[in-house]
Amino acid sequence: MPDDADLFTLDLPDADATARLGETFAALVLPGDVLLLDGPIGAGKTHFARALIRARLGSAEDVPSPTFTLVQTYGAEPEIWHADLYRLTHPDEAIELGLDEAFDTAICLVEWPERLGQDQPEKALSLRFSLENGGASRRVRLCGGPDWAARLDSLEAGFHGN
């Protein structure tokens, strides 16, 4: 299981702020990084993932939600895996998708990470999205280990959702 140390929380007042956060992360992620995107439906997980993937690819490529396909892969360097595990019923199903191997070499964005059970990578960063102000805005809480704390040091000071 990932280290659950709270790093910091960011307010995301609108969809543009969520997209800017994804674009910012596109420049930070490295091969083998796993971002666990947690939160209720409509909290911004897929919007964040789309922005990160588009920024990483350098194009406005269509980035569909992997709700029905479970995994979408993108041939960037390194490869990007975007998984939506909502429909899984057992953690073994995630292994059947090849996620365990992708965790080592690709950039992995995993929605509904609790479906991984005990198979969540230890060095993953959790982004816990929540709805605020009756759903008018979002908030994201970042949780991870010391490696992430050092890498994200400038993000907290430099990112402004407004």
- List, for residues 74-114, the tens digit of each pLDDT value: 887 899 999 999 988 888 888 888 888 899 999 999 999 99
Flag whether 156 is in a domain. Answer: no
Flag whether 155 is in a domain. Answer: no
Flag whether 85 is in a domain. Answer: yes
Per the listing, tokens 């080592």 go with: 104
* Residue 97, Cβ density class (10 Å: 0-12 exposed, 13-18 middle, ≥19 buried): middle
Distance CA 91, CA 17 (A): 32
DSSP string, 134-151: GGTEEEEEEE--HHHHHH
Flag whether 160 is in a domain. Answer: no
Closest residue by Cα to residue 25 from 105, 82, 94, 95: 82
Report pLDDT for 98.
85
Query: Mean pLDDT across the stretch 120-127?
Result: 92
- Position 2 pLDDT exceeds 50: no
Query: Mean pLDDT across the stretch 61-70?
Result: 72
To the nearest 10°, report the CA torsion of 96, 97, 98, 100: -80
Report pLDDT for 97.
87
Mean pLDDT over each residue of the chain, to the nearest integer: 87
Flag whether 1 is in a domain. Answer: no
Of 39 and 59, the structure prediction assigns the larger pLDDT to: 39
Distance CA 131, CA 40 (A): 8
- pTM, two decimals, is 0.90
The count of domains in the chain is: 1
Flag whether 158 is in a domain. Answer: no
Domain span including residue 28:
6-150
CATH of the domain at 15: 3.40.50.300
Please state whether 111 falls in left (phi above 0), alpha (psi between -120 and 50) or beta: beta
Flag whether 86 is in a domain. Answer: yes
Distance CA 45, CA 108 (A): 13
